[in-house]
Structure 1
Amino acid sequence: MNILFVYFIPSGGVETLNRHRSAALKKKNIHCHFLYYSKQRELVNNHDGPTFITNNDNEIKIILKEGNYSAIIITSDYSGLPRFRKLGYKGKIILEIQGLGSQTIARSELKKAIPLVTAFGDGILSSKTPHIMQILDDFSLPFPKFIFNNCFDMSKFSYKLTQRRNHLILAWIGRIEDNKNWREFLDIGYNLINGYNSNIKLYMFEDNSLSNPIERQRFQQLIKRLNLEKSLSIYSNIPNDKMAEYYSIIGDSGGFLCSTSKVEGFGYAIVEAMSCRCPVLSTDSDGVKNSIIHNQTGKYYSLGNTMEAVKEAKELIENVQLREHIISAALNHVKVHFSPDKYSQQFIKMLESE
């Protein structure tokens, strides 16, 4: 059986999900193919399945004909439903929701999507993102909804033994854009470096093809204003398999991943860090509720409250017993709740539903 997964670009959390579910579903004899409309960087991580990059109707028509797909999963692009029907596809089409920005935008987008799913689709798939689940409950849907956790294959992405650094590392991952809230990370880093430990290093991992010039300029200006040039290292477009090594280095340094997002649909970077023994301090950005339980599998601070973030950061660094408990509990949490096998079972059940 072949399934086609469709998304805008091969980057971010959806791209990570695609690679993990490709491996999971392959074990059940389901072969995943991937269609991205465009790419804005040369790097495309290995998906272990055919990966097409085109937004041309004629080329997509050929892909559909040759792929003989039992189902198509279109992530976020609800306008793709009538398009794929017009291109002749008659099988099952599911619209997948993996974060749609702020809760207001998500509600507005889903309101526009529902008539198209009703007319051209066979249901909606979502991870267990609380605000998305609530919005879907608020609407009276004339089609099935399928809600289950994303998957994560720890056998393919886990802790690597590396050479320990002689400085403590605080890391951030995301795009240089408002929702990822890069300003707050720089503020937290500044306060920890200047009021706690001047030897702290800040690592920021980003995709520099996905930010606009004005935001990039503001980013550079704030780094300069806070005098962080010597403390900050910026890494762009690191291949995903290399990231396991970086997370391991960050955790072993005594540091942590700091997620400052305003809203997250799932937050794959958090799960990746957990799988590599790197603890996480995060805003309560909704989708991360699936992975972070405060002082059990990670730590929260209130969005916008830099001083609270600094306080929680210090405890995560200094309280060795709590830190070890969080690292161990997080590993177990990922193993149990994001199991590839469990995902495959639920995905097959969705495909078999009427």
Structure 2
Amino acid sequence: MKFLFVFYVPTGGMDAVNRHRCRALKQFGHEPHCLYLYPGSGQQNVTDIPTFVTNDDRDIKTILTTYKYDAIVVTTMYETFPRFRGLGYKGILIWEIQGYGPITMARAEIINSVPYVKKYCSAILYPDTPHIGTLLNEIYMNMNVPFFSFNNAFDVSSFCYKPLPQWGVPIIAWVGRFEDNKNWRELLLIAHQLMAYYPHLHLWMFEDPNLAVPQERAEFDLLVQQLGLLHCLTIHSNIPHALMQEYYSIIGDSGGFLCSTSKMEGAPHSVVEAMSCLCPVLTSDKDGVWSAIIPNQTGKMYPLGNITAAVIEGQQLISNPYAREYIRTNAKIHVSMAFSLERYACHFMQMMNVLYGK
């Protein structure tokens, strides 16, 4: 079968999600493609997946006519449904929700989606994220729209631990955008307090500057100065995705960890990547990571906003080598099972069978 996955730009988590799931479907004999409406930094990561970047109706119509997709999965952009139908696509059209940040925004977007989904859409797909499921059941109650929910795919064979020279001091890492929901302020406060115990600690922050909110970035620069973190801070911008496995491996071997401070998540993209590379994870408690992080088994978790609790959990990861290795090993095993390509392809094709009435 032929599938098309559609998103705004090839960047951030969606770039990785699409590449991993396309590999999953290719592995089982299907033909997946990606369409992005605008260019983005993730284009450097595209290798073996047919990928189109265009927002021109003529180009899109040619793509649809040429490949005659069995299903199109559109992430987030429900407002494009009339466009695809108007360009002649009559097949299965699936709206996918990978996450909308704060729950108030998720609620508003799902409410706004209703007329588009009811008129043009065949089904709704979302990762194993409880707050999205709750909102869908509330807002789409008594509507004849099927929902499907399963974990994203992750290829642990292509993105995994790489033995590299030791760094020598703990590295705390953060991956995200400079915007409120990613909660960079909390990360800086945690790092500042950990510095009192580990004065040689390094802080690495990975971002795409094209996605930053300018005011947030200005406030970030100010808070870094106020907390005296400039000497230990390194900002990595637009790192090619293939190189991130090396960074996660270095961070894991340094005695540090990935710190995920976001207020809400749809799916645990960077968390799963780190786990696959034996980089321990400390995360705020949000339901988007529950499929990946089992407290004290596959990672560490702290109540959102509780800096003291986060610092305590972080100290355990840095100072307790036995607990650290136990978590690193379990995390890798968990990702390889719960997010496997085989499991994703199986769930995806079960969804297709239901939608085709098989």
Q: Give TM-score scaled by structure 1 length.
A: 0.97
Cα distance in 2 for residues equivalent to 1:130 and 1:21: 21
> Aligned runs of 1:225-236 on 2, under 5 Å?
225-236=226-237
SS in structure 2 of the partner of residue 79 of structure 1: helix
Q: Which runs of 5+ in 2 are unaligned?
A: none
1:99 is the counterpart of 2:99:
yes
Structure 2 Cα separation of the partners of residues 29 and 111 of structure 1: 37
CA–CA distance in 2 between the matches of 1:22 and 1:125? 16
Matches within 5 A, 1:24-39: 24-39=24-39
Aligned pairs (5 A) from 1:97-246: 97-138=97-138, 139-140=140-141, 141-193=143-195, 195-246=196-247
Q: Match for residue 67 of structure 2?
A: 67
Unmatched 5+ stretches in structure 1 = none
Report the alpha carbon displacement of residue 67 of structure 1 after superposing the two structures with TM: 2.0
* Amino acid corresponding to residue 117 of structure 1 in structure 2: V
- Is the Cα–Cα contact under 8 Å of residues 170 and 318 in structure 2 kept in the other structure? no
Deviation of 1:44 after TM superposition, in Å, equals 3.1
- 1:68-105 per-residue CA deviation (whole Å, 9 max, x = no partner) reads 21110000101111111011111110001100121121
Q: Answer with 130-139 or 195-204: which moved more.
A: 130-139
Q: Distance in 2 between matches of 1:208 and 1:104?
A: 25
Per-residue CA deviations over 1:138-179 (Å, capped at 9, x if unaligned) read 231312111111111101111000000121100000011111
User: Closer, same or farther in 2 for the Cα pair 1:155/1:312, shift >3 Å?
Assistant: same
Q: Which moved more, 1:52-61 or 1:333-342?
A: 52-61
- How far did 1:47 drift? 5.0
Tell me, yes or no, if the aligned pair for 2:45 and 2:241 is still in contact at 8 Å.
yes
CA contact (8 A) 1:31 1:49 kept: no
Residue equivalent to 2:14: 14
- The residue aligned with 2:279 is 278
Partners of 2:312 and 2:39 in 1: CA distance:
40
Distance of 1:216 and 1:148 partners within structure 2: 34
1:230 aligned counterpart, secondary structure: helix
3-state SS of the aligned residue for 1:234? strand
> Percent identity, aligned pairs only?
49
Q: CA deviation at 1:26?
A: 0.3
Q: What does residue 3 of structure 2 align with?
A: 3
SS at match of 1:218: helix
In 2 relative to 1, CA 42–320 (structure 1 residues): closer, same or farther, beyond 3 Å?
closer
CA contact (8 A) 1:22 1:48 kept: no
- The residue that corresponds to 1:318 in the other structure is 319
Partner of 1:349: 350
Answer yes or no: is the 8 Å Cα contact 2:11–2:42 preserved in 1.
no
Q: CA deviation at 1:214?
A: 1.6
Verify the 8 A CA contact 2:42 2:240 in the aligned structure 1: no
SS, match of residue 44 in structure 1: helix
8 Å Cα contact 2:99-2:266 kept in structure 1: yes
CA distance in structure 2 between the partners assigned to 1:264 and 1:233 by the alignment:
24
Of 325-334 and 249-258, deviating more is: 325-334
Alpha-carbon contact 1:21-1:340 (below 8 Å) kept: yes
1:319-334 maps to which residues of 2 (within 5 A)?
A: 319-334=320-335
Q: Distance in 2 between matches of 1:93 and 1:350?
A: 12
Q: Classify 1:32/1:150 alpha carbon distance in 2 versus 1 (closer, same or farther; 3 Å).
A: same
Aligned partners of 2:18, 2:74: CA distance in 1, in Å?
12
The residue number in structure 2 matching 1:254 is: 255
CA contact (8 A) 1:184 1:306 kept: yes
Distance 2:312 2:163 in 1: 29
**TM-score normalised over the length of structure 2:** 0.96
| Corresponding residue for residue 55 of structure 1 | 55
- Report how far residue 43 of structure 1 moved: 4.6
Aligned residue identity for 1:227: G
Moved more, 53-62 or 295-304: 53-62
